[in-house]
Amino acid sequence: MSKTHLLIVEARFYADLADELAAGAIEATEAAGCTYERLDVPGALEIPAAIKFAALSGKFDGFVALGCVIRGETTHYDYVCGESARGLQDLALQHNLAVGNGILTVENDDQAWARANRSKKNKGADAANAAIAMVSIKKKYGVS
């Protein structure tokens, strides 16, 4: 039986936060005995499309979406948060993909770092663990 193989998709708009989220996701993935590949995208809105493109390859059992959206002065925040989450949920439901959503949606840098930091909330690890759990559920029910 082959190991679970994940794709970790990282929005690089806030590179330092993306690095910390990825480090947490990689630690959790390796601790679970899974393998992974990484893919960088510019921002959170690009994550769902990148996951769909990669899913078509058939190479991956699950996907980890990582990024951060910090509220600014315009309504752009609301669109990015809502549409990136909707895109991931649509992929999971319509295409039977196992996705862990680690896109942080926060008010400021302090909240972002509290969630990304591996010694605090470690949301990168949480997203990887969610993807791994969903892969297990798919396998349990024979979903391809």
Q: How does pLDDT run along the chain (144 residues), one tens digit per residue?
A: 589 999 999 999 999 999 999 999 999 999 999 999 999 999 999 999 999 999 999 999 999 999 999 999 889 999 999 999 999 999 999 999 999 999 999 999 999 999 999 999 999 999 999 999 999 999 999 998
Q: What are phi and psi of 52, to 5 degrees?
A: -65, -45
Q: From the annotation, which residues make up the binding site for 5-amino-6-(D-ribitylamino)uracil?
A: 13, 44-46, 68-70, 101
| Residue ranges of domains in the chain | 5-140
CATH architecture of 5-140: 3-Layer(aba) Sandwich (3.40)
Q: In this predicted structure, what is the pLDDT of residue 144?
A: 85
Q: Please, where are the H alpha helices in 9-141?
A: 15-31, 47-55, 76-95, 109-116, 123-140
The single residue of 3, 59, 76, 86 carrying the catalytic annotation is 76
User: Dihedral sign, CA of 82, 88, 91, 92?
Assistant: negative
Question: Is 76 an annotated catalytic residue?
Answer: yes
